[in-house]
A and B are shown apart, each in its own frame.
Chain A
């Protein structure tokens, strides 16, 4: 990453004044943050803080009540995600995601899951099915390339031995890795992961961290939701903390870790006590 350090990192995703209302509930309230290209950005916060809702706004599953979400691709194209149709966010803007409650095609095999993810590339290669039906060689090479790409990700996700088994037959940790591999097979520039470490045992958690770092080093930016602080601190370059739909902290893992507001949010301390801690910290630093 010699060039990565010298190059000033630009923002791949800019979320500005995002608000989302469900009935009377303000799930997200005037939330702004940036995710830098080539970094792992973590979005953390207690349960019910609105992290998944932010994801759903970014990836087009919810239409935000207010706000602007801008994605800049490497080639300079910019997209306002809230204006795109749900499938275009992946197809045109290059954002892919996983789900908090895993959504695999459980009746398809592991390999097929990864081939479905390459739908748009293969569709074009098959001349929107017509040329492929006639058995043209262009489609055959594209299909072979798709399998090679799938094999590459299966190896990285340590799933190569399970390639021909139904996805529903995998263990929980393997299903998580498959969902990430499937999202990567769409060739995204930004990968959004919703609590990828939830429910994993320590060993699975460790392999996951390696996989995420590999993905980042391969040039894909990551946006990652987590409510377990310890996982986040280890792998993320930049952390944004959300509580009750509002940003309470934003910065490097070290900065966030020592932010009294974050500590209060995670320990469930009252507001006046937060102020008390803040005062103490201020006194200490001065």
Chain B
């Protein structure tokens, strides 16, 4: 091409340097007061201030160099790649997928099945605890919650900001019923789901007449009401103290994981006493629950009810003209989503051994919703990826001790969790406005299954 000459190259470089300096100046202006100066209380409880020029320097340098690299190298590279593709006539959206893409789900499932053992092999028995529990189980809980919420938000297009309420119902159902009646985990797991679904219907009846923003606000309020009831109904829930000593899940009633029990799992199998086996067991339970959620969602999407959910998201008025009872359709979406929230809640209670209203704040709803939106509404794979990135990412932050060397010893990376979460969301939404997986898989086809581009699907309107 005529215009990719030396002359043009140096033009790009000057432009990159200019924009880099410009970005640096803007960053300096923006962060001078926020980052450069810090106020704190000294030993005499007086408010004093000190400067943090080093940190400010890091911020400015990141902005300037980042802009320089983007304009100078990344953009020309992307442009030339696009140009080359256009010349060879290869479309941007190519149908051919590599081996990894076509078998992605199988590979992921096999990896997950081996994951606890791999962790144990690599990090040893105690070292693997962190990987199985903090990463594995934690992420899978969010995958399950997000898949459950996906039915309501992603498929039916009903914006629910109070999903954590059903999680709470599930958790407290297990905690209270096992404490008062001594029912086992395996009995209470379905019961918690059914109770949460019932609450979904109870909430749904008055709320589903509302649309859009109003629906969002009322579900948000419902989430808060449940939390406030949990805090204030102290006779039953013990308020903010929470309920502790919740019974562990048993190995289908055959073996127990309680240390003192006669049929202790570790003893029965001649294993050294360690909590890691219980965690591994929990990992497989939540993995199975996730698979159940995915299976039911996939099956339901191909059933009339699932299609009606998606049709509802696309156009509610057209649905009514086709004889679809939109009220019951919305209610089933709400109840099904709530049921999976309830399952996840009872699992959460069994895993923690302790529940308190602290775990069910609005922020949890927001995080779950963010995962659904980031993943691409309706797409199970996208949502799972988003959960790994978001939850795994925040867990990773805890591990980043080296950041202390950069930002000083009082730097606690966890505190920046939400900042990074927000930043990541903005970035993903800029580049992938429809989430990681923006396309939609059709539920039926005559000749070939073609993914539906995200530009045709709607988000729903409540």
Binding site for B on A (CB under 8 A): 59-61, 86-91, 96-97, 99, 103-109, 111-112, 115-120, 122-123, 126, 129, 132-133, 147, 151, 154, 160, 163-169, 182-183, 186
Can you list 27 A-B pairs, Cβ within 8 angstroms, ordered by A?
A59-B321, A87-B325, A96-B321, A96-B322, A97-B321, A104-B318, A105-B314, A105-B315, A105-B318, A107-B458, A108-B452, A111-B442, A112-B443, A115-B443, A116-B324, A118-B304, A119-B322, A120-B324, A122-B303, A126-B304, A129-B305, A133-B299, A133-B303, A163-B446, A164-B446, A164-B447, A167-B456
Q: How far is the CA of A122 from the CA of B326 in the complex (A)?
A: 16
- Chain B positions 282-304 with a Cβ under 8 Å from a chain A Cβ: 296, 299-300, 303-304
In-complex Cβ contact of B445 among A88, A164, A168, A182 (8 A) = A164
Is B133 part of the binding interface, using a Cβ–Cβ cutoff of 8 Å?
A: no
Known: A90-B321, A106-B458. 18 other contacts (CB 8 A): A59-B321, A86-B320, A87-B324, A103-B318, A106-B315, A107-B310, A108-B310, A112-B307, A115-B443, A115-B444, A119-B308, A129-B303, A132-B303, A133-B296, A133-B303, A154-B446, A163-B445, A164-B447
**Chain A: which residue is nearest B318 at the CB level?**
A103
CB distance from B53 to the nearest CB of A (A): 52
Q: How far is the CA of A109 from the CA of B450 in the complex (A)?
A: 9
Q: How far is the CA of A163 from the CA of B449 in the complex (A)?
A: 10
Q: Contact: B307 with A123, CB < 8 Å?
A: no
B444 neighbours in A (Cβ, 8 Å): 109, 111-112, 115, 147
In-complex Cβ contact of A186 among B323, B452, B453 (8 A) = B323
**Chain B: which residue is nearest A98 at the CB level?**
B321
B443 neighbours in A (Cβ, 8 Å): 112, 115
Is B74 part of the binding interface, using a Cβ–Cβ cutoff of 8 Å?
A: no
Q: How far is the CA of A90 from the CA of B322 in the complex (A)?
A: 6
Is B448 part of the binding interface, using a Cβ–Cβ cutoff of 8 Å?
A: yes
In-complex Cβ contact of A107 among B446, B448, B456 (8 A) = B456
Interchain residue pairs A-B with the least CB separation, the first 8? A107-B457, A90-B323, A91-B323, A105-B314, A168-B456, A122-B304, A103-B318, A166-B456
CB distance from A162 to the nearest CB of B (A): 10
B447 neighbours in A (Cβ, 8 Å): 163-164
Q: How far is the CA of A90 from the CA of B324 in the complex (A)?
A: 8
B322 neighbours in A (Cβ, 8 Å): 90, 96, 116-117, 119, 182-183, 186
Q: Contact: A116 with B308, CB < 8 Å?
A: yes
Is B311 part of the binding interface, using a Cβ–Cβ cutoff of 8 Å?
A: yes
A169 neighbours in B (Cβ, 8 Å): 456
Q: How far is the CA of A273 from the CA of B109 in the complex (A)?
A: 81
Q: Contact: B303 with A108, CB < 8 Å?
A: no
Q: How far is the CA of A186 from the CA of B446 in the complex (A)?
A: 20
In-complex Cβ contact of A108 among B311, B317, B323 (8 A) = B311
Q: How far is the CA of A132 from the CA of B308 in the complex (A)?
A: 15
A99 neighbours in B (Cβ, 8 Å): 317-318, 321
Q: How far is the CA of A107 from the CA of B460 in the complex (A)?
A: 11
Is B417 part of the binding interface, using a Cβ–Cβ cutoff of 8 Å?
A: no
Q: How far is the CA of A109 from the CA of B448 in the complex (A)?
A: 11
Is B18 part of the binding interface, using a Cβ–Cβ cutoff of 8 Å?
A: no
CB distance from B79 to the nearest CB of A (A): 28
**Chain A: which residue is nearest B448 at the CB level?**
A164
**Chain A: which residue is nearest B314 at the CB level?**
A105
Binding site for A on B (CB under 8 A): 296, 299-300, 303-305, 307-308, 310-311, 313-315, 317-326, 332, 440, 442-450, 452-453, 455-458
A154 neighbours in B (Cβ, 8 Å): 446
Q: Contact: A120 with B323, CB < 8 Å?
A: yes
**Chain A: which residue is nearest B315 at the CB level?**
A103
Q: Contact: B450 with A164, CB < 8 Å?
A: yes
Q: How far is the CA of A236 from the CA of B318 in the complex (A)?
A: 26
CB distance from A56 to the nearest CB of B (A): 10
Q: How far is the CA of A61 from the CA of B320 in the complex (A)?
A: 9
CB distance from B436 to the nearest CB of A (A): 18
A160 neighbours in B (Cβ, 8 Å): 446
CB distance from A160 to the nearest CB of B (A): 8
Q: How far is the CA of A123 from the CA of B309 in the complex (A)?
A: 13
Q: Contact: B323 with A116, CB < 8 Å?
A: no
Q: How far is the CA of A88 from the CA of B326 in the complex (A)?
A: 11
A182 neighbours in B (Cβ, 8 Å): 322
CB distance from A224 to the nearest CB of B (A): 16
Q: How far is the CA of A125 from the CA of B31 in the complex (A)?
A: 64
A120 neighbours in B (Cβ, 8 Å): 323-324
Residue among A112, A132, A165, A183 having the largest count of chain B Cβ atoms under 10 Å: A112
Residue among B310, B314, B325, B449 having the largest count of chain A Cβ atoms under 10 Å: B314
Q: Contact: A107 with B303, CB < 8 Å?
A: no
CB distance from A97 to the nearest CB of B (A): 5
A164 neighbours in B (Cβ, 8 Å): 442, 445-450
Q: How far is the CA of A106 from the CA of B46 in the complex (A)?
A: 63
* Contact (A116, B442) CB under 8 Å given A91-B323, A107-B452: no
A106 neighbours in B (Cβ, 8 Å): 314-315, 456-458
Q: How far is the CA of A116 from the CA of B319 in the complex (A)?
A: 8
**Chain A: which residue is nearest B449 at the CB level?**
A164
Q: How far is the CA of A126 from the CA of B314 in the complex (A)?
A: 23
Q: How far is the CA of A122 from the CA of B308 in the complex (A)?
A: 11
B308 neighbours in A (Cβ, 8 Å): 116, 119
In-complex Cβ contact of B320 among A87, A122, A133, A167 (8 A) = A87
**Chain A: which residue is nearest B317 at the CB level?**
A103
Residue among B317, B449, B452, B458 having the largest count of chain A Cβ atoms under 10 Å: B452
**Chain B: which residue is nearest A85 at the CB level?**
B325
Q: Contact: A166 with B445, CB < 8 Å?
A: no
Q: How far is the CA of A55 from the CA of B97 in the complex (A)?
A: 49
CB distance from A161 to the nearest CB of B (A): 9
Q: Contact: B305 with A105, CB < 8 Å?
A: no
A87 neighbours in B (Cβ, 8 Å): 319-320, 323-326
* Contact (A119, B315) CB under 8 Å given A107-B456, A112-B443, A164-B448: no
B446 neighbours in A (Cβ, 8 Å): 111, 147, 151, 154, 160, 163-164
Q: Contact: B445 with A105, CB < 8 Å?
A: no
**Chain B: which residue is nearest A120 at the CB level?**
B323
Q: How far is the CA of A97 from the CA of B322 in the complex (A)?
A: 8
CB distance from B294 to the nearest CB of A (A): 14
Q: Contact: B324 with A108, CB < 8 Å?
A: no
**Chain A: which residue is nearest B324 at the CB level?**
A119
A86 neighbours in B (Cβ, 8 Å): 320-321
CB distance from A223 to the nearest CB of B (A): 14
CB distance from B205 to the nearest CB of A (A): 16
Q: How far is the CA of A148 from the CA of B131 in the complex (A)?
A: 51
Q: Contact: A119 with B450, CB < 8 Å?
A: no
**Chain A: which residue is nearest B442 at the CB level?**
A109
Q: How far is the CA of A183 from the CA of B45 in the complex (A)?
A: 75
* Contact (A119, B323) CB under 8 Å given A106-B458, A107-B457, A133-B303: yes
